[in-house]
Structure 1
Amino acid sequence: METKFRLKYYTRKTLLTFLGPSELDEHNDPMAKLERERDERLGSRPKKAHSVHIPKRHFHTTHAA
Structure 2
Amino acid sequence: MLILTFMPIDTEPWVWIKLGILAMGTTILIVWATWFSLWQRDEYWRERGKDPKHPERLPEGTAE
Same fold, TM-score > 0.5, yes or no: no
Bigger Cα Rg:
2
